Structure formats: C-alpha cells, structure tokens
Amino acid sequence: MKSIQSIAGIVIAVICFVVIHVEAQNAKATTGTFALTNATIETVTKGTINNGTVVISNGKIIAVGQNIAIPSGAQTIDCKGQTIYPGMIDGGTRIGIVEIGAVPQAVDQQEDGDIIPQMKALSAVNPNATAIAITRVSGVTTTLTSPEGGLMPGTAALVNLFGYTEDQMYAGFEGVVVLFPNTGRRGFFDRRTDDEIKKGVEKSLKQLNDVWEKALQYHKLDSTTKGKGLAYYPEMIAMLPVMRGEMPLLIEVNAQKDIQAALKWVKEKKVKKVVFTGVTEGWREAENIAKANIPVLVGPVIGIPSREYDRYDAVYANPGLMKKAGVKVAIRSQEDGNGNYRNLPYHAGFAVAYGMDRMDALKAITIVPAEIFGVSDKLGSIEVGKNATLFVANGDIMETKTQVSNVFIDGYKMPMESRQTLLYDEFLNRVPGVKK
Amino acid sequence: MKNTILIILVSCFFSVASGQVEKGSVLIKNGTVLTITKGNLENTDVLLKDGKISQIGKNIAAPAGMKVIDATGLFVMPGIIDAHSHIALDAINEGTNAITPEVFTGDAINPFQMSIYRALAGGCTTSHALHGSANSIGGQSQTIKHRYGTFDPDAMKMEGAPRTIKFALGENPTGHGRRDGVQPQSRMGVEFVIRQAFSEAKQYQEKWDTYNKNKAVKGFRGAPPAYSLRYQTVADILAGKIIVHCHSYRADEINMILRVFKEYGIKKLVFQHTNEGFKVAPEIAAAGAMASVFADWWQYKLEVYYSTAYNAAILVKNGVVTSINSDSPDLIRHLYHEAGKTQKYGNLTDEESLNLITINPAKQLGVENRIGSLEVGKDGDVAIFKNHPLSIYAVPQYSIVDGIVRFDRAKDANDMRLIVDPKETIDVTYFKNSLDHDNCMQGVESLFGADANEQKN
C-alpha cells in the first residue's frame, strides 16, 4: 500500500513537473526554417501578393511569392485568411529606459545636464523590460528608444524587441537627439510670460550655437590629428559622427515658429543629416520642410491640436498634409505616458481616416522609418535577403479587430504572450471564483 | 401688490431662463441605425422632435420645414457617453482635507472650453465632470451634456441626472496625504478615513433624526444640531441618494471598499479606472457594483504596472456592467476607437464593445432611461459616423444633442472658439508632457513636482 502511495506520489510529481513549467519572464523563442503559406503578403515595396508563401531561414527571408517550393525540414505555418506584414517600426518610444513612469528608480530616460549627447540610450535599454513583449506581440518589432530632457539629452538607439544583450537587440541605428528650443507652452499650468519664454529660447539657441561651434572645431582638430593627442571631451566625441555626416541629428520640434527656426538653423549650420521629430505643426510649414528635404518622424498622430483656434482634426490630418506636400513621412506613436507603443498602427489608421493614403500610412510605419534610420536593406518590407522581421495577422493591421497570430524577429519565432496575455489566461475564468 | 406679483413673475422667468435647455428637431434619413438595445436597423430613419426621439422607422416623411440629414451610407448611433472626464471644468481638485464632499464640480463649469467641442467632434455628447482624486472622499460631480454654444454654465448640466460623488483610493490620496503630513498616507489610512466619515455621518444623521422626531412633540424647546454640508452629503451617500464613483486601481483596495460599503449598506457603487478589476471581477459582479476602465493604459505608475488591456473583456464576461472612459481631453474624442480595442483584447462582439460607451456608462450615471440607446422617448442625442464606429477609419460627421446639431464636420468653421481672449497672442501653442499621470490630479500637479520641473527648464 505504501509503495502504491509513493508511486502515485512520483507520478503526480512528474505530471506537475511536466505541466507546470515556470516562466520567470517569457517563454523561449524558437528558430529554424519556416514556410508561411497561403498568405496575403503586404510586401510594402513590391505590392500585395495573394495566396503567397514566405520562407524564412537563418534569420533571413529567402523566398517570397506564389508557387514557392517549400524546403525540406521547414516548419510550415498555414496562413490561410491571414496577411503577412513587415515588422512595424516605431520611431518614438522610451522602451527599456522607462519601466514605471512615476517611480524614479524605474526611470532611466534623463541624465543630469543640458548638453550630454554622450549619454547612450542603448546602454540603458533593459532587454527584459515588460513593455518589450507587450509591444512585440502586436507586431511592433523595432523601436527607437530616445532619451529626454534638456537641450541635447543623449543618443537614441534603434532596437529590435528581442534579444538578451544590447548587441543582440541593436538594430543598426543611433542618432543624437536635440530638443530644439521650444516656444510652446507645456500645458495650461505653464504660466511663463511671453517674454520669459522668448528669453529662455534665445538662451537655449545660443547654447546650441556654442555647441555646434565647438563641435566644428573639434571635428577639424580630430580630422587633422586623426584623433591623436586630443583631450578627452565626451560631448564632442559623441558629436563627431554627426559632424562627419555618419549619424543624423534627431531634432524634436513642434510649433510652427520653432520649425521655421530649426529649418533656418539647419541651413545656416549646414548640418549634414537631419530628421525632424514630433512636428505637430508640420502641416503649417510642409512645403518648406519638403523643400529642405528633411524627413520627419511625426507623432503622436492621435492627439489634440496645439492651438485653441485650430481645426479639431489638425493633428490627425498632419501626416497626410505633409506627405501631400512632398515630405518624407514616418509615423511614430510616442505614447509615453501609458506605454502603449503597440498602438502604432492606430496612429497610422487615424492618419488614413483623416486624409492620408492607406499605403502611404503603411509605409510610414515600415519602410519609410527603415529608410530614415538607414536600415532599409534589412528591415521595413517583405523582400528576399531582408531580415525575417515580420508578423502575421488576420486582417488589416490598422483595424482594432485584427489579431496578430505570429511574430518573427531576425528569424526567431516569438512566443505570443506577454504579461498582459498571461493575466488574461489566469483571470478570465478565475479559479476559485467568488467562493473557495 | 400688483407690482410685487410682477416682480415675482419676472424673477421666476429669469430663474427658469438660467439653465434652460435648448431643444431642436431633425430627421435623420436612411442610415444604418445602431440602436444598442434593439439591434441594428438598415436603411432606417430617426426622427428627433423637440429634443426627443419621437420615431424610428422606414420612410418617415419630413414634417414641413424640418432639418433633414441624409445618412445614406452612414452609421447612426446614440451619442457617446464618458463616465469619467474633467472637461468643461475650471477646477478639479479641492484636496484641502481628506474628505471634501461639500464641494461640487457643478459650481466650476466652464462652457467655453474647446475640449467640449472637440469631444463632440468625436461623437461624445455626454460626460461625467468628475472631481479629482487628491483625497479619499472628493467632491460631488455633475453629469453634463455637451451643449457647446451656450454661454450659461447651468445649461450644460444634464437636468434630472442623479447626484454623484468621487471617492479615491491608493497612490493619489496617499501621496497627497504624505505631502501634507496628514492621513491617509497608506491604504490602511484610506480605509480608516472613509470608515470614519461614514461613522461620523451616521451619528450626525441620528442627531438630526432625533431632533426631527422630538420637534414634532408639543412643547419641545431644544435647538437643532449644527448643519454640516460635509456630513449631510456623506449621510446622503449612506441613505443611497448619491452614486459613488470610486477611483481605484488595485484588486485589494477594490475588495476593501466592497467590504466597507456592504457593512454600511451602500449599494450605488461604480469603480473608476479599476485597472485590477479583472482580478476581482467575480466579487464586483456579486456585489452588483459597476466598473469604468481605460482600454489599455498601464505603466504610468506602480499601481497600474500589473494592468492588462484584457481588463474590460474579463469584466464583461464576468457580468460586470462595464464602460470605457477617457479621463482625458484627448481620449474623449475617440472613445469609439478605445471601445474597438476590446475586440483585439478579448474578442468582444460589436454589440458588447458599443455597450461600453453607450448604455453601460448611462447606467453608471443613473441616466439609462434618458440616454445611451436609440429608443422612442429617449433624448435626441445622436452621433453619425462615416464607416462603422468601431473601425479605425470611422469619422464622426454629426453630433446632435437634444435634437440640435452641435457638430457638423462639413459645415463647421475651423475656428470654433466661443470667446477669444484679447490678451492671447496668435502664437500660443500647447504641447503635451511626455510622462503623463492620470488627469485626476489636475490642479495639484505643483505638489507632485510637475510644475517644479517645468520651471527648471
């Protein structure tokens, strides 16, 4: 009898061991050769393919089209009734550097100092941030994490939302952030007088000019000495790639007046590579932005007009109006307050509802940001040779009804779960219910 | 004598004129009508007459001279209702005491705010102008209709809407208490502060009951107890005369308030935010309490860290009357989109999703007999959309309040301000902060460093 009990005990223990596998954070990703068949493929760059197949191997897309031979040993995923999209790219996030907004110990987005381009967001990105899985299961696979505060808060980094080290996550782009001197108010509680604002802006602009002047000289010295014997000057070292034209300045600018000032500044200083970000009032200066050939990362699109007298839909319509004027437009979410970068396709959707062409809006969250970040050889479309960073959904990704069924990042098949889905699984039919 | 009567009559006329509701008539032709409570009707007309829905059916003939909207190819639904908002208010937090039930947001209505018109431009015709969450028992709150165009604050009030009051649990009231060096500074203190208020109000009411009983006895000479608006209001809560809207995030504090309310026999309870409501959905349902939630907000503070966007779906599937709210002058403009997210997170049907922004919030405000569905006899509050309201491509075209078109996408001017501040320069622009907390703490940001940080920059 005793032995039966102990055998039963062992059996139960084995069952428990098999059934209850504890995941401290996320389930493991899997990799290999995958064939996604019978799908509608939104290649983004080469039209839509019906009833097509995408083959993924060694982290790359190796075949796209109809009548594709499936390699032996490939794991086939039937995507009938489903659409394959390239992974969405959000150029406006704090992923990995803000874990909980109101808890200072959980916020790494801002360092001390006004001009600190040497502060690298990439170093502070936590590969296990809760927002990572929450964001990627919605098809947003790649995000720009930007530091915040002061005039030059640091260097932003593009990361893929999968990996355990910064090297594994790094998606091949960094840019120095400039928060261009801002004449706008930060809310109705901002009671500075017009004069105070003007003086503050002038002071900041002077600072910015000083930095630029120093960076020019430092660059000249660096070029002539080939970097030998130069004193350690971290701010200037961080500026060198910008001066060389290897890295853009990401200039956050929103009010019309400030956009005008930034256009003038960029022209005067002959900045080699520039991206405007935010650009809430871009529609007011769209032609001049287009003329200056400066691409924009616009967003949030779902937002309130910045002026009382503006039309209620001014911010929704902004991306479409800029695109129409010839600006290269990428859409970002920048939903920092509530961590909802997963809403990126809805920002694109609102742009469509208020005038932007749907395909332009889809490009604005895929191939266009990839181009702006200089990674369009790897990301942003479904093409042979590109990274297998894509997802499968059961419809138009801009519609809230649509469900994402599979996400691949660099050929790794993501577990389709996050803390939020696990809570759903645990609590939908809670055990015990009201009575234990 | 004649003059006196005339004066009385004239003053009566003026007191009626203040807060008087303007009503209109319009015939909406040939739309897809989403009635909410009685299914969807294709190619159907809705007749609004003198501010009320007077007929829903096919081929209704337009009475002579009546305004007609051609809704062919459009979706006609009841005006959207937001059970948690702070628009149209000049003040949100009193916050000078752990309990301030004596104050009333209805005294701070500002009919000129652009946010009212912008809400209309998102199909939202009614909102609950809630007090903030700086203290455990906040102020009484007012249900308003978005009658943008009126200059009269009282005309914004939804006549006959039940009294409501704001309670607040968790980080906001405890944070406020810590900064002021008073209770509550912990969730223990929050429970105590509320229990203390209930107990003291009970005693207060007993004194009045005793006095009122004795007063009837011949020869009684005692003085009445001192009147306190604060305790009278709490006594009214105990008597079931006021609906409590309780700001809450964590499951344990939701359970705490369910326990306390049960003990004091209070039944009218709506949880606000309720981010962890999904964890205690069976308890909320069993108590007959309701829940008003965000579609997907999380991460902005510790007590929302363990949120899930599946919250609304879990609550609905557990039988809790649930609404999606805005708590934001931005979200209030696209509650239809917020409701749509429950289809991604939990596969709610179109009907279930639309309930979250129509009939359910109406129930939570105690006005479901007036608004929240398209039925004959109800108020003429209607939103008309191009594309289905749960589609991302939905664009509100008209918003109608009491039969009056208050938003018309095609006809309205770009600049819809009612008044222009002569001191305002043309370049004034406002941009949002990057790290938001919920808007319930508006007016007390200075205590939380937001202002201090701003001034530093």
Q: Which residues in chain B touch residue A256, judged by CB atoms under 8 angstroms apart?
A: 427, 429
Give per-residue pLDDT as tens, A128-180: 999 999 999 999 999 999 999 999 999 999 999 999 999 999 999 999 999 99
DSSP β-ladder status, B163-168 and B137-145: antiparallel
Q: Which residues in chain A touch residue B424, judged by CB atoms under 8 angstroms apart?
A: 308
Q: B204: left (phi > 0), else alpha (psi -120 to 50), else beta?
A: alpha
Residues β-bridged to residue B47: B27, B55
Inspect the interface and report whether the beta carbons of B429 and A255 lie closer than 8 Å.
yes
Inspect the interface and report whether the beta carbons of B393 and A349 lie closer than 8 Å.
yes
Asked if A362 reaches chain B (Cβ–Cβ under 8 Å), the answer is no
Please give the residue of chain B at the shortest CA–CA distance from A398.
Answer: B392
pLDDT band, very low/low/confident/very high, at A331 (cuts 50, 70, 90): very high
DSSP β-ladder status, A296-298 and A274-278: parallel
pLDDT band, very low/low/confident/very high, at A20 (cuts 50, 70, 90): very low
Local structure of B66: helix, strand or coil: coil
pLDDT of residue A184: 85
Inspect the interface and report whether the beta carbons of A101 and B279 lie closer than 8 Å.
no
φ, ψ for residue B358, nearest 5 deg: -130, -90
pLDDT of residue B443: 63
Report how far residue B68's alpha carbon sits from residue B59's, in angstroms, rounded to the nearest whole number: 13
pLDDT of residue B420: 87
Give per-residue pLDDT as tens, A267-279: 999 999 999 999 9
Residue count (chain B) = 457
Residues β-bridged to residue B408: B398
For residue A101, give how far its alpha carbon lies from the nearest alpha carbon of chain B (Å).
4
Point out the least confidently predicted range of A22-31, A412-421, B215-224, B303-312.
Answer: A22-31
pLDDT of residue B437: 54
Inspect the interface and report whether the beta carbons of A102 and B300 lie closer than 8 Å.
yes
On whether the CB atoms of residues A117 and A108 are closer than 8 A, the answer is no
Question: Quick one: A358 exposed, middle or buried, by C-beta within 10 A (0-12, 13-18, 19+)?
Answer: middle
pLDDT band, very low/low/confident/very high, at B438 (cuts 50, 70, 90): low
pLDDT band, very low/low/confident/very high, at B12 (cuts 50, 70, 90): very low
Please give the residue of chain B at the shortest CA–CA distance from A428.
Answer: B314
Report how far residue B335's alpha carbon sits from residue B82's, in angstroms, rounded to the nearest whole number: 8
On whether the CB atoms of residues B82 and B326 are closer than 8 A, the answer is yes
CB count within 10 Å of CB B183 equals 17
Inspect the interface and report whether the beta carbons of B330 and A304 lie closer than 8 Å.
yes
Tokens encoding A420: 């939020």
Asked if B432 reaches chain A (Cβ–Cβ under 8 Å), the answer is yes
Inspect the interface and report whether the beta carbons of B310 and A421 lie closer than 8 Å.
yes
Residue range B80-371+420-456 forms a domain whose CATH class is alpha beta
pLDDT of residue B450: 38
Tokens encoding A128: 């296990």
Q: What percent of chain B has pLDDT over 90?
A: 87
Give per-residue pLDDT as tens, B283-325: 999 999 999 999 999 999 999 999 999 999 999 999 999 999 9
pLDDT of residue A185: 82
pLDDT of residue A380: 98
Q: Taking 90 as the threshold, does the pLDDT of residue A408 lie above it?
A: yes
Local structure of A387: helix, strand or coil: strand
pLDDT of residue B427: 75
Report how far residue B208's alpha carbon sits from residue B203's, in angstroms, rounded to the nearest whole number: 9
Cis? peptide before B184, omega within 30° of 0: yes
CB–CB contacts below 8 A, A to B:
202
CB count within 10 Å of CB A69 equals 10
Task: Give contacts of B 77-116 with A, CB under 8 A.
Answer: 114
Point out the least confidently predicted range of A35-49, A81-95, B433-447.
Answer: B433-447
Q: Write the residue in B297, B390, B393 that is nearest to A353 by C-beta.
A: B393
Inspect the interface and report whether the beta carbons of A280 and B431 lie closer than 8 Å.
yes
On whether the CB atoms of residues A319 and A355 are closer than 8 A, the answer is no
Please give the residue of chain A at the shortest CA–CA distance from B446.
Answer: A189
On whether the CB atoms of residues B162 and B28 are closer than 8 A, the answer is no
pLDDT band, very low/low/confident/very high, at A436 (cuts 50, 70, 90): confident
- Could you state, in order of their start, the residue ranges of all structural domains in chain B? 20-79+373-410, 80-371+420-456
pLDDT of residue B442: 67
Tokens encoding B17: 């004129």
Ordered DSSP codes for B204-264 = HHHHHHHHHHHHTSTT--PPPPPP-HHHHHHHHHHTT-EEEEEEE-SHHHHHHHHHHHHHT
pLDDT of residue B422: 78
Per the prediction, chain A carries an average pLDDT of 94
Q: Taking 90 as the threshold, does the pLDDT of residue A8 lie above it?
A: no
Which ipTM value was assigned to this complex? 0.93
Give per-residue pLDDT as tens, B205-262: 999 999 999 999 999 999 999 999 999 999 999 999 999 999 999 999 999 999 999 9
Asked if B209 reaches chain A (Cβ–Cβ under 8 Å), the answer is no
Q: Taking 90 as the threshold, does the pLDDT of residue A250 lie above it?
A: yes
Q: C-alpha angle with apex B317: B315 to B320, nearest 5 degrees?
A: 45
Is domain A88-379 in CATH 3.20.20.140, yes or no? yes
pLDDT band, very low/low/confident/very high, at B430 (cuts 50, 70, 90): confident
Give per-residue pLDDT as tens, A222-239: 999 988 889 999 999 999
Q: What percent of chain B has pLDDT over 70?
A: 90
Nearest to A276 by CA among A320, A357, A330: A330
Inspect the interface and report whether the beta carbons of B330 and A303 lie closer than 8 Å.
yes
Read off the pLDDT of each residue in A301-324 and give the average, rounded to a whole number.
97
Of the two residues A244 and A1, the one the predictor is more confident about is A244
Read off the pLDDT of each residue in B197-207 and give the average, rounded to a whole number.
98
On whether the CB atoms of residues B150 and B111 are closer than 8 A, the answer is yes
Q: Select the residue from A401, A419, A436 to test the B interface by mutation, using most B Cβ atoms within 10 A.
A: A401
pLDDT of residue B13: 44
Inspect the interface and report whether the beta carbons of B430 and A185 lie closer than 8 Å.
yes
Local structure of B361: helix, strand or coil: helix
Asked if A104 reaches chain B (Cβ–Cβ under 8 Å), the answer is no
- Could you state, in order of their start, the residue ranges of all structural domains in chain A? 16-87+380-436, 88-379
Of the two residues A343 and B12, the one the predictor is more confident about is A343
Q: Which residues in chain B touch residue A403, judged by CB atoms under 8 angstroms apart?
A: 344
DSSP β-ladder status, B242-248 and B163-168: parallel
Please give the residue of chain B at the shortest CA–CA distance from A347.
Answer: B392
Nearest to A93 by CA among B434, B430, B308: B434
Report how far residue A86's alpha carbon sits from residue A387's, in angstroms, rounded to the nearest whole number: 10
Q: Which residues in chain A touch residue B357, judged by CB atoms under 8 angstroms apart?
A: none
Question: Quick one: A68 exposed, middle or buried, by C-beta within 10 A (0-12, 13-18, 19+)?
Answer: middle
Nearest to B73 by CA among B385, B396, B374: B385
Of the two residues B213 and B427, the one the predictor is more confident about is B213
For residue A183, give how far its alpha carbon lies from the nearest alpha carbon of chain B (Å).
8
pLDDT of residue B14: 44
Give per-residue pLDDT as tens, B139-172: 999 999 999 999 999 999 999 999 999 999 999 9
Q: Write the residue in B313, B416, B431 that is nearest to A184 by C-beta.
A: B431
Give per-residue pLDDT as tens, B252-289: 999 999 999 999 999 999 999 999 999 999 999 999 99
Task: Give the C-alpha distances (Å, rounded to integers) separating A118 from A92, A204, B446.
Answer: 20, 19, 32
Alpha carbon B56 to its chain centroid, in Å, reads 27
pLDDT of residue B223: 94
Please give the residue of chain A at the shortest CA–CA distance from B287.
Answer: A434
Task: Give contacts of B 290-319 with A, CB under 8 A.
Answer: 294, 296-302, 305-310, 313-314, 317
Asked if A308 reaches chain B (Cβ–Cβ under 8 Å), the answer is yes
Task: Give contacts of A 24-83 with B, CB under 8 A.
Answer: none
Point out the least confidently predicted range of A184-193, A426-435, B15-24, B191-200.
Answer: B15-24
pLDDT of residue B393: 98
Q: C-alpha angle with apex A306: A301 to A307, nearest 5 degrees?
A: 140
Give per-residue pLDDT as tens, A207-218: 999 999 999 999
pLDDT of residue B452: 31
Q: Select the residue from B116, B334, B392, B427 to test the A interface by mutation, using most A Cβ atoms within 10 A.
A: B392
Read off the pLDDT of each residue in B394-411 and give the average, rounded to a whole number.
98
Three-state SS string across B165-177, please? EEEECCHHHHHHH
Q: Taking 80 as the threshold, does the pLDDT of residue B455 lie above it?
A: no
pTM of the model: 0.94
DSSP β-ladder status, B26-34 and B67-70: parallel
Fold of domain A16-87+380-436: Urease, subunit C; domain 1 (2.30.40)
pLDDT band, very low/low/confident/very high, at B436 (cuts 50, 70, 90): very low
Read off the pLDDT of each residue in B447-454 and give the average, rounded to a whole number.
38
Asked if B62 reaches chain A (Cβ–Cβ under 8 Å), the answer is no
Read off the pLDDT of each residue in A294-301 and give the average, rounded to a whole number.
98
Fold of domain B20-79+373-410: Urease, subunit C; domain 1 (2.30.40)
pLDDT of residue A6: 55
Q: Could you tell me where the DSSP H helices lie in B40-162? A: 114-120
Q: Taking 60 as the threshold, does the pLDDT of residue B7 lie above it?
A: no
pLDDT band, very low/low/confident/very high, at A349 (cuts 50, 70, 90): very high
Point out the least confidently predicted range of A13-22, A47-56, A189-198, B30-39.
Answer: A13-22
Asked if A398 reaches chain B (Cβ–Cβ under 8 Å), the answer is yes
Angle between helices A234-243 and A194-225 (to 10 degrees): 80
Q: Which residue has the tokens 């007993």?
A: B206
Q: Taking 50 as the threshold, does the pLDDT of residue B122 lie above it?
A: yes
Strand order in the sheet with B163-168: B80-85, B124-129, B137-145, B163-168, B242-248, B269-273, B290-293, B322-324
Q: Taking 70 as the threshold, does the pLDDT of residue A14 lie above it?
A: no
Report how far residue B58's alpha carbon sits from residue B3's, in angstroms, rounded to the nearest whole number: 54
pLDDT of residue A4: 55
Nearest to B402 by CA among B56, B51, B159: B51
